[in-house]
Amino acid sequence: MPDSRALEELAEGVLAGKIPRVARAITWAESADSRFPRLLARLFPFTGRARVTGLTGSPGAGKSTLTAALARKARAAGRRVGIVAVDPSSPFSGGAILGDRIRMQDLYTDPGVLIRSMATRGHLGGLARASADAVDVLDAAGYEEILVETVGVGQDEVEVFRLAESCVVVLTPGMGDDIQAIKAGLMEVADLFVVNKADRDGSDRVVQEILQMLELGEHGAWLPPVVKTVATTGAGLDELIVKLAEHRAFLDGPEGAQRKRERTKKRIEGLVREEILRRLETLKGDRGALEESAARVEGRQEDPISAARALASRIDRGSAGAAPCSPSKKSPKSPGLVSRISHLGIAVKSLAEGSAFWDLLGLHEEHREEVSSQKVLTSFRPVGESFLELLESTSPDGLIAKAIEKRGPGIHHLCLEVGDVRATLAKLKAAGVRLVNEEPFVGAHDCLVAFVHPASTGGILVELSEKAAS
Ligand code: ZN
């Protein structure tokens, strides 16, 4: 089970605070690696200790200088600092002018500081997810102070920002558009306002404008304070740190609990939305269900509302559908019991070729995974409560390659889901059934599986699968 061991090693490395492992885990988060959800499940119990502060504002507001100043203060207090930069103009993202980065050299070389920039493109709305996941990795790795720098434009960035515990909006005098930008979306999210570069003319006017806006708006139990700073000299920084601590104390109180709950709900909501969008994408494509629907609608065989409802129910079924080896909701988890047909394994010469017919039927791929121990690439396609598993050999000496050589492509095995593979194997063995595997191993989806020889089953290779107790 090389996959599971690699995962466990990575998790342990992260928890031990090993920087290369932390960086790799964040890369998994950023690239939406299929292994990341399992990693997060392993790490999540160790999160919740870090203080997470979001800083946003227009480019040029001095967020990076402020972020760096806060990082140095935390370091001086002996705390480890993680910086997540989602702002392409930030020196932490490699943007800005070289001079900025040189001024922050001390942070780059400090082993107690980990700086990570997140690509702002190519996330398909998943930027907030990736950033929140990166924060969790840092939290689990023992970074006590986490600063998330975003640029205050675009819905994606606002979503990232609002996931922080304490959200700081940074403004400067003489940037008239800023106030408008706040009105547009940041207002209800901001926990603190910073008027940076406060040594410039007009800083009091900006403070006044913010206060007026706060008077008009809804702010609940926490009234966002307005702090004047000059990040380059450190003026006002101590006050900002005090206000951040007060906000943290507020969050730990009864009224803050509601605020925290709202944030957690937002995060889950975002994940659900992303999952639904992902499933919507699977309906698209050349021979996708959306294409078929469009043809039916244009041919006046179906009206658009009915077509949309049918597609939506497919998305729904997909999201409610169990993974190939997750215990079925309908059946009680009883050790020896077969709960459902998990999947039908079909050997194909190549997935590219072997998929066409099933795609035509609308049985599109939901999950693809290489199971290296079996030298096979699997493609899972939901069919109601069960799946089709198309199998392509990754090596000429693999089992699937041999099966195709002998019998040609076609049905390869039937997989039954059981409550306890080991117990089932023991029972079968005691009855004299011929087993291919006496011990279960980890297959696709991290399911614990074992095969039963066709000689004992009436000619069918039978796979038994059980959800891994991870
Ligand atoms: Zn299988």
Ligand 1 ion: residues within 5 Å (CB): 345, 389, 415, 463
Backbone angles phi, psi at 116, to 5 degrees: -140, 130
Q: How far is the CA of 432 from the centre of ligand 1 (A)?
A: 23
Are residues 307 and 395 both part of a single domain? no
Contact present, 296 and 302 (Cβ < 8 Å): yes
Q: How far is the CA of 313 from the centre of ligand 1 (A)?
A: 27
Are residues 181 and 218 both part of a single domain? yes
Backbone angles phi, psi at 58, to 5 degrees: -70, 160
Are residues 402 and 461 both part of a single domain? yes
Q: How far is the CA of 389 from the centre of ligand 1 (A)?
A: 6
**Spatial separation of the C-alpha atoms in residues 358 and 356, rounded to whole Å:** 6
What phi-psi label fits residue 60: left (phi over 0), alpha (psi between -120 and 50 degrees) or beta? Answer: left
Residue 157 lies in a domain: yes
Average pLDDT of the chain, as a whole number: 85
Question: What does the pLDDT read at residue 180?
Answer: 65
Question: What does the pLDDT read at residue 371?
Answer: 85
Question: What does the pLDDT read at residue 32?
Answer: 82
Contact present, 123 and 12 (Cβ < 8 Å): no
Q: How far is the CA of 36 from the centre of ligand 1 (A)?
A: 22
Q: Which residue has the tokens 């690696």?
A: 33
Residue 118 lies in a domain: yes
Helices (H) and strands (E) in the chain, counts: 18, 15
Structural domain boundaries, residue 437: 338-466
Residue 408 lies in a domain: yes
pLDDT higher than 80, residue 78: yes
Q: How far is the CA of 41 from the centre of ligand 1 (A)?
A: 25
Q: How far is the CA of 421 from the centre of ligand 1 (A)?
A: 14
Q: The dihedral of CA 88, 90, 94, 98: what is its sign?
A: positive
Are residues 73 and 206 both part of a single domain? yes
Q: How far is the CA of 423 from the centre of ligand 1 (A)?
A: 19
Q: How far is the CA of 464 from the centre of ligand 1 (A)?
A: 8
% of the chain residues with pLDDT over 70: 89
Q: How far is the CA of 413 from the centre of ligand 1 (A)?
A: 7
The length of the chain is 470
**Spatial separation of the C-alpha atoms in residues 360 and 356, rounded to whole Å:** 6
Question: What does the pLDDT read at residue 334?
Answer: 57
Q: How far is the CA of 380 from the centre of ligand 1 (A)?
A: 9
Residue 379 lies in a domain: yes
Q: How far is the CA of 341 from the centre of ligand 1 (A)?
A: 11
Question: What does the pLDDT read at residue 179?
Answer: 65
Backbone angles phi, psi at 450, to 5 degrees: -155, 150
Lowest mean pLDDT among 47-51, 235-239, 280-284, 393-397: 280-284
Lowest mean pLDDT among 39-43, 224-228, 363-367, 389-393: 363-367
pLDDT (mean) for 221-245:
92
Q: How far is the CA of 12 from the centre of ligand 1 (A)?
A: 30
pLDDT higher than 90, residue 256: no
Quick one: tokens of 306? 């009915």
- The model carries a pTM of 0.65
Are residues 69 and 194 both part of a single domain? yes
Q: How far is the CA of 323 from the centre of ligand 1 (A)?
A: 12
Are residues 302 and 342 both part of a single domain? no
Question: What does the pLDDT read at residue 239?
Answer: 96
Q: Domains in the chain: how many in total? A: 3
- Highest mean pLDDT among 3-7, 119-123, 314-318, 419-423 belongs to 419-423
Q: How far is the CA of 465 from the centre of ligand 1 (A)?
A: 8
Contact present, 386 and 409 (Cβ < 8 Å): no
Question: What does the pLDDT read at residue 112?
Answer: 95
Neighbour-count burial for 302-312, b at 16+ CB within 10 Å, e otherwise: beeeebeeebe
Round the CA-based radius of gyration of the chain to a whole number and report it. 27
Quick one: tokens of 71? 């990082």
Strand partners, 27: none
pLDDT higher than 60, residue 408: yes
Residue 25 lies in a domain: no
Question: What does the pLDDT read at residue 330?
Answer: 43
% of the chain residues with pLDDT over 90: 40
Q: How far is the CA of 409 from the centre of ligand 1 (A)?
A: 15
pLDDT higher than 60, residue 328: no
Contact present, 209 and 185 (Cβ < 8 Å): no
Are residues 303 and 170 both part of a single domain? no
Is the pLDDT higher at 454 or at 182? 454
Quick one: tokens of 88? 């392409």
Contacts of 35 (CB under 8 A, 6+ apart): 3, 7, 28
Are residues 109 and 232 both part of a single domain? yes
Q: How far is the CA of 466 from the centre of ligand 1 (A)?
A: 11
Are residues 235 and 344 both part of a single domain? no
Q: What is the CATH number of the domain that holds 367?
A: 3.10.180.10
Q: How far is the CA of 383 from the centre of ligand 1 (A)?
A: 14
pLDDT higher than 50, residue 193: yes
Are residues 217 and 257 both part of a single domain? yes
Smallest CA-to-CA distance from 145 within 92, 224, 75 is with 75
Q: How far is the CA of 275 from the centre of ligand 1 (A)?
A: 25
Are residues 288 and 416 both part of a single domain? no
Residue 333 lies in a domain: no
Q: How far is the CA of 271 from the centre of ligand 1 (A)?
A: 29
Q: How far is the CA of 348 from the centre of ligand 1 (A)?
A: 13
Contacts of 101 (CB under 8 A, 6+ apart): 91, 94, 108
Quick one: tokens of 217? 């708006």
Taking only the tens place, the pLDDT of each residue in 116-157 is 988 766 555 578 888 999 999 999 999 999 999 988 766 777
Question: What does the pLDDT read at residue 307?
Answer: 83
pLDDT (mean) for 15-37:
91
Q: What is the CATH number of the domain that holds 234?
A: 3.40.50.300
Q: How far is the CA of 346 from the centre of ligand 1 (A)?
A: 9
Kindly report the number of other CB atoms within 10 A of residue 288's CB atom. 17
Are residues 299 and 216 both part of a single domain? no
pLDDT (mean) for 76-86:
94
